[in-house]
Amino acid sequence: MILPTGYALSAPITAILLTGNVILQSTTFIPSTATTTFEFGNGSSVRVENPMRIRGLPDLVEPHFLGAGSGGAVFSYQRQSTQKETEHPCKDKVVVKFSWLQSAESVRNECKVLNAMEQRHISGIERCLTQLENPEDPRRTIIVMEPVVNDAISNLDELSTEAALTATKTLMTTLAQMLVARIVTADVQPLISKSTGKLVLIDMTEAKILPEGKLSDIDVALVREFCSEVISFIPDTFARIASETFYEELYRIEAESHEFLDDYVRTIIESLMTIE
């Protein structure tokens, strides 16, 4: 077991135990006004400051460990200067992803793609507020995003019918918007609030903005993988509503922006969304 170091002695011990990148056990208490170093099973460490000061943002306080993967370690922080909204406490929170050394480029890519998606007004995704060098090692990066999804699950089958419907519609709307914007990812990870069905697609580390013009065979394969992954999250009972939502959004975008779905992509999506 690897324990974080750098605690005030009186602070309760927080332990994070990782085997490879799989979290086996974690607690998230981090003392106030302290720097806590988390050591991970892949040999990387992350220094978590409380408060964390980033130019252009209010002080970030109350870090909580959310999870870790191949991209890095992810924490939520509270924005200090805003008043806490008790009804929507997540609105005041941000997500801070500390990359590993070997994943720095993909985490920079995540912020770049999220910025491009924000410019295209794509919904159902995170917003990247800033990207900075990690003071521990400037070759590593830190990105700050929002929103934090509370009581999150990744499977629509675990939701109430109403919440699953909301999540389905968001997912298909986002799919249409991303495809027209020629942005795809092979690693689709929805986080869905169990209570509301509010869905956010996280982890754009592997996302790609496809070049204009004819798609290469590799990109066609990537589009196919992206579309099938998204559709695999939809419960069978929602297949029709999913298809209707997708085409409604597609026609809306095409009518308003005069940007059109690539013909290959159209064929792929049609073949995947055929409803008997």
Ligand X SMILES: Nc1ncnc2c1ncn2[C@@H]1O[C@H](COP(=O)(O)OP(=O)(O)OP(=O)(O)O)[C@@H](O)[C@H]1O
Nearer to ligand X, 137 or 248 (CB): 137
User: What angle do the packed helices 161-180 and 239-257 form, to 10 degrees?
Assistant: 40
Instruction: State in angstroms the smallest separation of the CB of 67 from ligand X.
Output: 3
Nearer to ligand X, 72 or 262 (CB): 72
Instruction: State in angstroms the smallest separation of the CB of 260 from ligand X.
Output: 31
Instruction: State in angstroms the smallest separation of the CB of 228 from ligand X.
Output: 18
124 φψ region: left (φ > 0), alpha (ψ -120 to 50), beta (else) = left
Count Cα neighbours of 39 within 13 Å in the Cβ-side half-sphere.
7
Spatial distance between the Cα atoms of 249 and 172, rounded to a whole number of angstroms? 8
Nearer to ligand X, 47 or 127 (CB): 127
User: CA nearest 38: which of 1, 93, 70, 78?
Assistant: 1
Nearer to ligand X, 66 or 268 (CB): 66
Q: Looking at the chain, which runs of residues are DSSP E strands?
A: 16-19, 22-26, 34-39, 45-50, 60-68, 72-79, 93-99, 127-134, 137-146, 152-153, 183-184, 189-193, 199-202, 208-209
Spatial distance between the Cα atoms of 204 and 264, rounded to a whole number of angstroms? 23
**Binding residues vs ligand X (CB under 6 A):** 66-72, 74, 95, 126, 148-149, 152, 187, 189, 191, 200, 202-203, 205
Q: 145-160 burial, b for 16+ CB within 10 Å, e for fewer?
A: bbbbbbebbeebeebe
Instruction: State in angstroms the smallest separation of the CB of 9 from ligand X.
Output: 29
Nearer to ligand X, 4 or 69 (CB): 69
Nearer to ligand X, 152 or 239 (CB): 152
Q: Which helix (H) or strand (E) holds 117?
A: helix 104-119
Instruction: State in angstroms the smallest separation of the CB of 66 from ligand X.
Output: 4
Instruction: State in angstroms the smallest separation of the CB of 12 from ligand X.
Output: 22
Binding site annotation covers 198? no
Annotated binding-site residue numbers? 97
Annotated binding-site residue numbers for ATP? 97
